[in-house]
Amino acid sequence: MSTVTITAADINKLRQTTGAGMMDCRKALTETNGDFEAAIDWLRKQGQKVAAKRSDREAKEGVVIAQTSANQQTGWVVCISCETDFVSKNADFVAFAQQIADAAVANNVASAEELNEVVINGAKVADMINDKLASIGEKIGVSRFERVDAPYVASYIHGANRMGVLVGLSEAAEEAGKDVAMQIAAMNPLAVDAESISPEAIERERAIVVETMKADPKMAGKPDEMIAKIAEGKLNAFFKEQTLVAQPFVKDGAISVGDYLKKAGANVKVTTFKRVALG
């Protein structure tokens, strides 16, 4: 029995994150004593297909800027958030966001906290944001900040500043960097490859797959060894769908992104990536 009060806000948050029904979300939170992550797993174990919980859901409206240093060895994604698309589409607000993103590059900023302390024309970014908040009447701020350092960094902005992508590559490859950034924007992979996913995340996924299979009447009476073998096959499908290099290449579905990178150069590899999108 749950000892935690489940509020309407809790239920709505889980519903928005997973796409599950209201009653299912209430039951999931009740069964897991209000543990949000466990509630997501509970829904999945019941066989529900839930939306991926990604950090790019945090920002509602705003402007996303992705750009690199002159030598293209460092990249930044900065999201200046606001409450409405009326503000985010305003040319003055877009210019304001660009000014802050430019300051991140010019000052080689390493974090959102550091960016807020940067001085532009005699004023700190944090103070500029407070002034802008007072003038437009909406809550705004540096809601997302990502940085990538690599031998070569490609940047990509999609959909009128609604998404920004950075791709770190092992060596300079301009066309490949752009193509892979567009792939990440379109397909939203979880990691570069299977090895990049933490053992804890893999075990969590394996446990969900196994429990879901055991709950399937068609699998009743099947030995654990068989279920484990089928589960590994499902995990491989998960890796193909969720890891960048295993995904079908959007420009040529007959090959994977990994195959495309081999064609781009024997030593061209993706070292890391960041994807920030308005939710």
pTM, to two decimals: 0.76
Task: Identify the sign of the CA torsion 96, 57, 147, 123.
Answer: positive
Which residue do the tokens 């690199």 mark? 68
Report d(CA 3, CA 113) in Å as an integer. Answer: 37
Q: Are residues 74 and 85 in the same domain?
A: yes
Query: Is residue 244 assigned to a domain?
Result: no
Q: Are residues 46 and 70 in the same domain?
A: no
Query: Is residue 186 assigned to a domain?
Result: no
112-145 as b/e: b if 16+ CB within 10 A: beebbebeeeeeebeebbeebeeebebebbbbbb
Q: Are residues 1 and 75 in the same domain?
A: no
Q: Are residues 42 and 63 in the same domain?
A: no
Report d(CA 201, CA 123) in Å as an integer. Answer: 43
- In the three-class reduction of DSSP (H, G, I as helix; E, B as strand; rest coil), residue 119 is classed as strand
Query: Is residue 255 assigned to a domain?
Result: no
Query: Is residue 138 assigned to a domain?
Result: yes
Query: Is residue 213 assigned to a domain?
Result: no
Q: Are residues 166 and 92 in the same domain?
A: yes
Containing structural domain, residue 26: 1-53
23-38 as b/e: b if 16+ CB within 10 A: ebbbbbbbbbebeeee
Query: Is residue 240 assigned to a domain?
Result: no
Q: Are residues 76 and 127 in the same domain?
A: yes
Is the CB of residue 25 less than 8 Å from the CB of residue 14?
yes
Last residue of a domain, one of 147, 172, 197: 172
End-to-end, the C-alpha distance of the chain in Å comes to 34
Nearest CA to 77 among 164, 154, 150? Answer: 164
CATH number of residue 162's parent domain: 3.30.479.20
Q: Are residues 90 and 144 in the same domain?
A: yes
Q: Are residues 76 and 150 in the same domain?
A: yes
pLDDT in tens, the chain (279 residues): 446 889 988 898 888 788 788 889 999 999 999 999 899 989 888 877 776 554 444 458 999 999 999 999 999 999 999 999 999 999 999 999 999 999 999 999 999 999 999 999 999 999 999 999 888 888 899 999 999 999 999 999 998 999 999 999 999 999 999 999 999 999 999 999 989 988 888 888 888 888 888 888 888 888 888 888 888 888 888 888 889 999 999 999 999 999 999 999 989 999 999 999 997
Question: What is the torsion angle, in degrees rounded to the nearest 10, for the CA atoms of residue 54, residue 146, residue 187 and residue 99?
Answer: 120
Q: How many domains does the chain contain in total?
A: 2
